[in-house]
Amino acid sequence: MNFDYGAKTVVDTIVVQMKENFLGKDFFSLPETAAITELFEKARNGVAFYGKTKKLAGEKLKRLSLLPHFDQLITLLEVFQLLAQSDEAEILKAKPIASVSVLKEQQRIQKVYHFIEMNYQKEIDVNEVARLCQLTTAAFCRYFKKSTHHTFTDFLNHFRINQSKKVLMQDKTVTEACYESGFENISYFNKTFKRFTGENPSTFRKKHSVK
């Protein structure tokens, strides 16, 4: 989901991946989900949202990674319903864009996301990820930046910071959050955490610790 269409400044991109039948093959055939099903059909061509819809959906998605799994699902459905009912939308293409080449690129980037999810707690070598995509390291870095608007290192660090937030919210120490989320250096972790969140991990921990 990309909410930066038409933006002229640096923005955050939130990626939410799911299988087409992630809620079962019949869920989106129900009358109650008809509007969402119609939204998905429109999205095949590309849809941009603006105004209050963009702001509200963006706020919900930013909180998504911090929620328990069940609440993530509920929030995601709320976002779908919000987008489905909104009139603050613009169709981007007149014809479907899901060509074979586009689908292949989607599969490639999904492979990278899955690799990060499975290995973020260990040292990740960009050369290894490039080989996974059957690209040279330089070509992979260009491809990843073009696809996500982030360097691979920034994307990986952002992912790890989101994981560290979950650890901190379990009332674990900053040191535990650092190493459990894949960082190898406390100083670098503190610096990176503040760059992405605007506050130190210790401050975040105090605000979100279990009372």
Mean pLDDT value across residues 77-84: 88
Higher pLDDT, 138 or 65: 138
128-154 mean pLDDT: 93
How distant, in Å, are the alpha carbons of 28, 53, 122, 160, 188 from that of 182? Answer: 37, 35, 6, 6, 11
Q: What is the mean pLDDT of residues 123-134?
A: 94
0.85 surpassed by pTM = no
Residue whose C-alpha is closest to residue 119's, from 173, 79, 159, 59:
159
- Enumerate residues 6+ apart whose C-beta is below 8 A from 106: none
pLDDT number for residue 2: 47
Q: Pinpoint the alpha helices (H) of the chain.
A: 34-43, 51-64, 69-85, 100-119, 126-132, 137-148, 152-168, 174-180, 186-197, 201-208
**Predicted pLDDT of residue 34:** 82
Q: Please compute the mean of the pLDDT values over residues 116-139 and round it to a whole number.
A: 94
Q: Kind and range of the H or E element at 89?
A: strand 89-91
pLDDT above 90 for 6: no
